[in-house]
Chains A and B, each alone.
Chain A
Amino acid sequence: MNSSIGKAYMSTASSSAGRKAGDAAAAAAAAADQFPAGLRVLVVDDDPTCLMILEKMLRTCLYEVTKCNRAETALSMLRENKNGFDVVISDVHMPDMDGFKLLEHIGLEMDLPVIMMSADDGKHVVMKGVTHGACDYLIKPVRIEALKNIWQHVVRKRKNEWKDFEQSGSVEEGDRQLKQSEDADYSSSANEGNWKSSKRRKDDEDETDERDDTSSLKKPRVVWSVELHQQFVAAVNQLGIDKAVPKKILELMNVPGLTRENVASHLQKYRLYLRRLSGVSQHPGNLNNSFMSPQEATFGPLSSLSGLDLQTLAATGQLPAQSLVTLQSSGLGRPTGKSGIPMPLIDQRNIFSFENPKLRFGEGQQQHVNNNKQMNLLHGIPTTMEPKQLAGLHHGAQSMGNMNMQVASHGSQSSQNNPLLMQMAQPQARGQMLNDSSLGHAPRLLSPMGQPMLSNGIAANVPTRNGIQENIRAPSYNPVPQTSSMLNFPMNHASELPGNSYPLGSTPGISSLTPKVAFREDVNSDIKGSVGFLPSYDIFNDLDHHKPQNWELQNVGMTFDASQHSNSLQGNLNHAQSVLVQQGFSSGQMNGQNRSATVVSKTMFSSGDSTGHVNAQNGNQPLNSLLVDGTVRVKSETPTNLYPDDFGQEDLMSALLKQQDVIAPAEHEFDFDGYSLDNIPV
């Protein structure tokens, strides 16, 4: 039955896919006009009765529906046609794959909004949806009214991405945001109000044109896709970072249509990024204060980030091992030495985000989307790495993945409890709860000082609502590592980003975190591994698929101190490897979970496909973001595109600057099995 249905499905799918591919542009334009009509929905349910009913309901809503009765088939459809769908609706209980697993996959690989549904309305299950990043959860039997509004998740996500993109360009705004959020009470519910108002304010201020004009593409920019960035990095490495001049890089890259100017500005960003990675502590003094200083906030998931960032930094080879250790030992908020671990990771992510799937409906905010993706990465990765996580990072495996997952998923949950988390979990990534979840966790992790890190004004409003990432205006929230293992991730980049531009609601902190390096003392060893995570997260979703691989980052000039990162996470970086290499990862240790913390830009490499099934939007995900250790699977709740489409040069810069800490942990797609979210006090 499955095969026959599968075939039937396939034909449906292929025809619709073909149709889509055929008139993508026309469809997009048309769709934009009639939005939400034409929204491309993929519905997955093993029950044929439900499937048919849903299909009919969605058609009645004027959506373009593709139905699928198997998760695996759905995944391959999505992979084959990355930009072919706008939203996925999936049942929780399916015979061939758990719905949550599918959810993770999609989040990592395609970063699409996913709505879960089930006849089970138990709090536990719904919570799981949240923690895994579902942007909504519908109880069966589903009413058509519930389906009518699913378009909001698509819009929200895109909007957040766009906002992130925009945000990255304006630190002041970020500050403003931070301030607003700061005032807010950190409890999520309380924050909600504030968040809403500040968001609305921001919306009013900034987004009017964007909102109104979803169908027009903003100024065209060069899209630094994953592949493109990889080529770039390869060229740079080949020439030697010192000798890499735009002209030569351009020649080496040999990409038609690319101009020297494009390369030059990209190079500038890249250099900044590297410098940041090297841990120059630009504002040493800030470290101490930055922790809670609102202005600097913009820290996304600090905690997790820190660990990741450190790793990333280390990975990039810029951060000497000692600094890493120092950072770690200093814990968050302690400007020990290199507190300056910038969030470059995050920024990097942003900058080098992958192409985002074109905004549908003619939205021309691809770049934003990309940005978002990056953000998502971060936020997806609960930067707040709980000690466990840290340990996991270290040793690979477990915790990171779990933590991240957990965090992410709990984001929302925790957010309520942990304002910090909320902040961290901002990444709007997919407007998913995931973001929320990360936030939620974040606090946990971080709170070294026992205070909510929400310094960054991240409104801890992490909306536990469906994917309202926006709350997380991420100002950098300093993930206060709660336990010792907090990420040393320099959450507060006080240095660079003054105003953590708050990413469009999405990743808090990630996008525009002013990384304040807040190192926690406790976090030392644990974080080691995690340090240096670059926002690039590997999209390995499935640990099972991972083949333990040691990342052999050959090309990268940076040397990732593998020892530090003893995570057993192994990144399957196949594709990422090259990129990572560039980052200087020495895979070394990553074993364990085969998760590569590749820069995750949207396209996450499914671990199983290290060979190359990189579903990155652009193919290979440039692991620019430095996957810290393979294990870090960035689960991009928000589109973690390293290369935001049309990411303007300036924006990239600012994004880079801002991003700093956000990267990491936002989405660590660590094997969350190990980590039981339930443990997370919500």
Chain B
Amino acid sequence: MDRNRLQHQVACMRRSLFDQGYLDEPFIQLEELQDDANPNFVQEIVTLFYTNSARLIQNIEHALNSRPIDFNKLDDHMHQFKGSSSSIGAKKVTNECTVFRDYCSAENAEGCSRSFQQVKQEYAILRRKLEVYLQMVRQAAVSQTA
């Protein structure tokens, strides 16, 4: 019962993450890659994503704060971050990255700044949700083995 409920909760949350556009197809690919050989694959990838993102976000901050702004470099960093987030299916984050890159190519510092805030915000939201979700997944898995 408990397990079923947990599983049900997991399923619901998962569906809402997709429905609300936080996650996209690539995330499903990650889930499908998880197997007995790599039972925590999704978690590992997501953790790696966090670590990498922290670094990239810092780079972007730094580039945004430098004067004069090197838009090429800025775009480079954001391109990396975008690639990273798209690889795990972080849909909203990726979309915000695109907006940022548009401003970047227009060399609109103000626009970049604003959209970067959006990027960070979406990233923070996603991270929170994912952490909750994955924890639930773990609990459900544990309860399964119990």
Contacts and interface: CB of A to CB of B under 8 A. Distances in A.
Interface in B80-134: 80, 82-84, 86-89
B48 A52 contact: yes
A49 B41 contact: no
B79 A56 contact: no
B44 A119 contact: no
Given A56-B38, A141-B26, A141-B89, A119 B48 contact: no
A53 B87 contact: yes
Contacts of A142: 87
Given A53-B30, A60-B33, A141 B87 contact: yes
B76 interface: yes
B79 A119 contact: yes
A119 B86 contact: yes
Contacts of A56: 33, 38, 41
A89 to B, nearest CB: 14
A211 interface: no
A140 B79 CA distance: 11
Chain B: interface residue count, which band? 20 to 34
Interface residues of A, number: 20
Interface SS of chain A: mixed
A49 B84 contact: yes
Interface of B is mostly: helix
Given A47-B52, A56-B38, A93-B79, A144 B33 contact: yes
B69 interface: no
Contacts of B18: none
A140 B33 CA distance: 17
Given A141-B26, A141-B86, A47 B80 contact: yes
Contacts of B58: none
A48 interface: yes
A119 B48 CA distance: 18
Contacts of B87: 47, 49-50, 53, 140-142
B29 interface: yes
A50 B84 contact: yes
A49 B89 contact: no
A46 interface: yes
Nearest to B48: A49
A52 B44 contact: yes
Contact of B48 (A48, A91, A120, A144): A48
B80 A53 contact: no
B45 interface: yes
Contacts of B38: 56
Interface in A44-97: 46-50, 52-53, 56-57, 60, 91, 93
A389 B93 CA distance: 46
A46 to B, nearest CB: 7
Contacts of A49: 45, 48-49, 52, 84, 87-88
Contacts of B35: 60
A100 to B, nearest CB: 15
A47 B84 contact: yes
Nearest to B37: A59
Nearest to A140: B83
Contacts of A144: 29, 32-33
Nearest to B51: A48
A101 to B, nearest CB: 16
A143 interface: yes
Contacts of B52: 47-49
A47 B26 CA distance: 16
A46 B76 CA distance: 12
Interface string B51-87: 1100000000000000000000000100110111011
Nearest to B27: A141
A144 B32 CA distance: 10
Contacts of A57: 29, 33
Nearest to A145: B29
Contacts of A140: 83, 86-87
Nearest to A143: B29
A381 B79 CA distance: 33
A253 to B, nearest CB: 52
Contacts of B79: 93, 119-120
A504 B7 CA distance: 56
A53 B33 contact: yes
A120 B75 CA distance: 12
A45 to B, nearest CB: 9
A59 to B, nearest CB: 8
Q: Which of A53, A60, A91, A120 has the most CB of B within 10 A?
A: A53
Most-contacted residue by chain B among A48, A141, A144 (CB, 10 A)? A141
A140 B89 CA distance: 10
Contacts of A60: 33, 35
Interface of A: 46-50, 52-53, 56-57, 60, 91, 93, 118-120, 140-144
23 contacts: A46-B80, A47-B80, A48-B51, A49-B49, A49-B52, A49-B87, A52-B48, A53-B30, A53-B87, A56-B33, A57-B29, A57-B33, A60-B33, A93-B79, A93-B80, A140-B83, A140-B87, A141-B87, A141-B89, A142-B87, A143-B25, A144-B29, A144-B32
Given A49-B84, A50-B84, A144-B33, 18 more contacts: A47-B80, A47-B84, A48-B48, A48-B51, A49-B52, A52-B45, A56-B38, A57-B29, A91-B83, A93-B76, A118-B83, A119-B79, A140-B83, A140-B86, A140-B87, A141-B25, A142-B87, A143-B25
| Nearest 9 Cβ contacts at the A-B interface | A119-B83, A141-B26, A141-B87, A50-B87, A49-B49, A141-B86, A56-B33, A49-B84, A49-B48
